[in-house]
Chains A and B, each alone.
Chain A
Amino acid sequence: MIRRVSILTRWEVKSVAMESRFHIAIVGSGPGGLSAAGRAAEHDLGRQDTSHQPTHILLESFKAPAKTIQRYQKGKHVMAEPHFLDLRSPIKFRAGTREAILEWWRQGIDEKGINIRYESEVTAISGKQGDFLITLNDGDTIRAENVVLAIGTQGNPRKLGVPGEDERLVQYQLDDPYAYQDETIVVVGAGDAAIENALGLAEQNRVYIVNRRDEFARAKEGNLNAVLKAINDQSVDFSCFYESHVSAVRPPTDEGESGAIVLDTPEGERTIECHRIVARLGSVPPRKFVESCGVEFPDDRPTSLPELSNQYESNVPGLYIIGALGGYPLIKQAMNQGHDVIEYIHGNDVKPVDHELLMLQFSGLPYMADPEEILALYQQRLPMFRRMNALQFREFILESRVIASVSDDQSREEVEARSRAAEEKHQQTLLERHKDRLAELEASNEPITEADRTPPKPRPATRIMQEGESIFQDGEYTNTFYTIAEGEAHIQYEPDGPVYTLKPGQFFGEMSLISGRPRSGNATIGPETILLETPRRMMVKVLNSNEEVKDGIDWMFIVRVLQKHFAPDLPIEELRKIARKVELQQYASGDSIYDEGDSGDCLHLIRSGTVTLSRKVGDAQIAIDHLQSGRMFGQLALMGDPVRRETATAAVKTETIMLRSREFLALLKKDPQRIDDIQAETRNQLKLETMLASMPEGGNVISFLMDEGLGEATNAMIIDEDLCVGCDNCEKACADTHGGISRLDRKAGASHASVQVPISCRHCEHPHCMKDCPVDAIHRAPSGEVFIDDSCIGCGNCETNCPYDAIHMAPELKRKGGILSWILFGFGSEPGADSEKSATAADTQQSSHKAVKCDGCMDLKGGPACVRACPTGAAIRIGPDRFPELITRR
């Protein structure tokens, strides 16, 4: 019955499209749009009206729903994060393969009777609430009272821009390169997607790749090497047209015939007969279109988000934005918003799914109030977040931990009992829902995975602390960010130095967040204080999308660095003016900051990254020092020697605070005693540099270590080849202490002058692996180790993102036997034997693969097992601060 309705409505839309008028038009049929349309369809079904005319329409530019998911590779496992959030949508969704999810959604469209119109790209939206005019690419127009934009951020693929670009010969995505054989295929584009497609196709086809430029500048290194190798390899049918443009596409004249592509090459026009053209030219970001609808963005940055109300309404009344475009890139979030936005349009004030999570977070606060009110209150109270999009602030709070301090034991007990009760209630709800879902799954006869069975982890309630308790300590590797909502916090940088008191609206912890270095100073919580502790991941997102917050934090960072280095006894207020005058400089890896012989008029303080100082000795450039964040260089230019005596280069991506002579003198004038400290620091630095400059071979080792990327390391394994006997006891120790799988590869990794950097995690200051972890499974321990927790889903993003190959995907295997049974009787596997190598194919297949990497043996009291198990003392783990020692002690 339902099926018939949907077919009927679709037919009607097609035939009367010119004059269609709807209550709600939804643009984009991704998860958000589909869910919204599903909810709107449910409203339609519940109507008393017997006309069966739908009051909604879902517009999709592609010929199928969920274009972005369609673009995923075949069989990709799609996750249902965040795990703590419930799904509220009429359309089915849980973690599964791309195919399964697309199938559920296709079913959902039919069952709910969603009025969807495919291949209808919206080119313009005008008008106002109650009467929007939507223009489609085929010239049709649609009128709607309300519009929901759910178009995501991926945009539509950039087309060839020549006649014939929409012919069937041309395709803008490639699902499975192995689906084609013995064809001539032209791939257009020089990015990673184009290269990967071309190489995949080249295995069983003749492939041409067309590159607009004379090199593959945008490609990842691995892809670059592979494509160059393929081009130069005579035995593979793969060639490249450099500096060439597509000038026309000629479709086949008959079915079964091949078409042709016309190229404009440096040697003149070339026509290539081909069966297929795969164009991978990136996509057109949707922002221009969104702006043309009247939606305003706070600034010009590509990452900035439109301003939205709590009910997803943009500055254009009646125009709503949900999903990735509104800053929520996860499928479940978008689907929930799709449901809620339809309710809001229908005038129903539903509470968002996360409402109960907010209640949990605020459970330990000294006052009872509606979470929505507390949210609004805090946003008003924190000047830096006042102008933030309300939805983003909500997410900011949801991802943060609320900390409240109490002054005596009795009230502590009281408050803790309250928040514990809330936690238990929450846990119970989660478990019940989990049970229901599992029962539902079992009833549906669908395969149930391990992940389906694992109950969701509960969210924490308010954290209660005693007044005066430590928030963080000097040297700790935490990198969360604290904002004071009420009360105060105290920070002391030096053991005997002054204690700074921070007040509501102020924040701290930004130094570790920005530099990736351990905490400097001790922080304690004051009486009756409420803090928001925000994880780094959330802060990075906020900094990338909100200029105001970024500027505020940058500026405070500068003020505090100046205070710490030049005027510890000076109140912040006095430093404000100077802080406004200094400049932030950014350098890419390898960029020169200044050259030897230049005349200098400024000093630099490293905000993040690492700087190598080098000097010309004879014909060679010798590294004489490497400095990490928090260190100063170039100060001699302001202390009497204006000529630079060394070259400063960024060893990794680096940011510095540049201080000119006038500001430097102004600072010194405020605290003249400080000059002695600066002179002492400079003296020590000069002594070290002189020593290293006198040992060119040592300087070469420093350069080598920097080239190996150790500039961003905090703790790296280094092997002295002169001592290593190749017994592999380090790898065995690693495997034995980590489920039979070694996380280090001694045999690999470059070496120079007997210093080898094996493949093993160096626990980067800003770990690359953390960047795209969808489940936030990668963390940094307070002692500095970067580790992966059990929630890893094996997506492989970290493996791809690690530039040092320190992460790999491995099955979870069980080890057999113990050490004594092996030594005495030869039973079981040798301690430290690699169980991945000895595992049978069946073992490996049955087990789920997860990401494994070095965790610095943080749970072993003795320290890293690899180092402790080296019989000759060849293997050590050290931080960059000890690199000079590595050379001078040899």
Chain B
Amino acid sequence: MHQNILQYRGRRYLWVVLALLILSLIIYLSQPSDLPPNGGSWQGYTLGGIAAALIVWLALLGYRKRSFRSRLGTLQGWTSAHVYLGSGLLIIASLHCAFQFGFNIHTLLYVLMTAVILSGFLGLFFYLSYPRRLARVRSGRRRTDWLTELNEIDDRIHKLAQRCNARTRKIVESALDRTHLGGGAIAQLRGVDRSLVLRPDRETSESKLIGNPEQETVIEHLASAVPKATKSDEAQVLQELLNVFGRRRTVLSRLRQDIRLQAWMKAWLYAHVPLTVAMLSALVVHVISVFLYW
């Protein structure tokens, strides 16, 4: 039944990684006390070998993820192991280098690896907490359902707007036209509402673009127009518009949160994967240079 990637099979890979860490620590501590621990001792090479193998295996998740016919465990199992072993890698690699850092390719590899692992932690955080938030935002409906409702609301507003005076009609229609949803990567991740509205000036009849975050400007306008309405029919239409815009605000806000959460769940991979590629290149250079300058 449903288990998240940390709980997978009674945290099977947590125990695996703990065993691996204990083994690594024993290897590390077995280095003779007369020489400081170093990547160049046989213990250092062993730890380096383990770390390099781990890196290659961890990177293979990208391959396994797309090998849809593979019978080698389930992808969830792989992901769970990826998380635990990836976290363990940070300690094993530190033991391998024996906490010696400098301005060189070896430390660059360590830094890149740490960046990959930290971006992975970020991804883990998103994967574990955002789906639940997303489900709450969508409250049992699909994104397309919310979009359909938005379309229906807009149709309705268009029809109601035809029964308003020119000024209100302009404001209302421009609010629909200039609603911002989604946008570029940054806009999606920030989820800031940059919707605008055109407000015609009463005297000059020139229009000015002003912000309409969360549809507040237009709601404000409608709310203040209702008490000023002279005909009962007009008041009724404005009242109805006000209600529909209220709902529109909620729908837009839900969609914006939906887009934002989804964006974050994807965005971290744009750091994690390229950093992995960089790390793999650095790993190759590190291994070659170590053996070249033996």
Contacts and interface: CB of A to CB of B under 8 A. Distances in A.
B62 interface: yes
Contacts of A889: 1-2
Contacts of A868: 68, 70, 74-75
B65 A873 contact: no
B127 interface: yes
Contact of B66 (A723, A832, A890): A832
Interface stretch (B23-31, B129-137, B183-191, B213-221): B129-137
A874 B2 contact: yes
B135 A871 contact: no
A750 interface: yes
Nearest to A745: B142
Residue of A860, A868, A889 ringed by the most chain B CB atoms within 10 A: A868
Contacts of B76: 870-873
A865 B4 CA distance: 19
Interface string B70-89: 11001110110000000000
A729 B78 CA distance: 14
Interface string A174-198: 0000000000000000000000000
A453 B69 CA distance: 33
Contacts of A830: 66
B144 A723 contact: no
A751 B135 contact: yes
A819 interface: yes
Residue of B79, B134, B135 ringed by the most chain A CB atoms within 10 A: B135
A445 to B, nearest CB: 45
A872 B127 contact: yes
Interface stretch (A18-26, A455-463, A730-738): A730-738
B5 A890 contact: no
Nearest to B8: A873
A102 interface: no
A860 to B, nearest CB: 6
A748 B74 CA distance: 24
Given A729-B75, A873-B2, A860 B135 contact: no
A284 interface: no
Contact of B79 (A724, A832, A867, A872): A872
Given A726-B265, A748-B142, A860 B131 contact: no
Given A723-B2, A752-B140, A889-B2, A871 B65 contact: yes
A161 to B, nearest CB: 42
B76 to A, nearest CB: 4
B270 to A, nearest CB: 14
Contacts of B138: 721, 751
Interface string B225-250: 00000000000000000000000000
Contact of B265 (A725, A737, A753): A725
A754 interface: yes
Contacts of A874: 2, 131
Contacts of B75: 729, 868-871
A882 B2 CA distance: 12
B69 A865 contact: yes
A259 interface: no
Interface residues on A, range: 35 or more
B68 A865 contact: yes
A725 B131 contact: yes
A737 B142 contact: no
A310 to B, nearest CB: 53
Nearest to A732: B68
B3 interface: yes
A832 B68 contact: yes
B138 to A, nearest CB: 8
B3 to A, nearest CB: 6
Nearest to A746: B142
A819 B1 contact: no
Nearest to A754: B135
A95 B263 CA distance: 52
Nearest to A860: B69
A854 to B, nearest CB: 14
A872 B74 contact: no
A867 B63 CA distance: 17
Given A823-B63, A872-B79, A733 B68 contact: yes
B2 A725 contact: no
Contact of A823 (B62, B130, B134, B262): B62
Interface string A820-835: 0011000000111000
Contacts of B131: 721-726, 872, 874
B66 A831 contact: yes
A872 B4 contact: yes
Interface in B188-225: none
Given A720-B2, A873-B2, A876-B2, 4 more contacts: A725-B127, A726-B131, A868-B68, A869-B68
Interface of A: 720-727, 729, 732-733, 736-737, 747-754, 819, 822-823, 830-832, 860-862, 865, 867-874, 876, 878, 882, 885-886, 889-890
Interface of B: 1-5, 8, 62-63, 65-71, 74-76, 78-79, 126-127, 130-132, 134-135, 138, 140-144, 262, 265
30 contacts: A720-B2, A721-B131, A721-B138, A722-B2, A722-B132, A722-B135, A723-B131, A725-B130, A726-B134, A727-B265, A729-B65, A732-B68, A736-B69, A748-B142, A749-B142, A754-B132, A819-B63, A823-B63, A823-B66, A831-B66, A832-B68, A862-B69, A865-B68, A865-B69, A868-B70, A872-B76, A872-B131, A876-B2, A886-B2, A889-B2
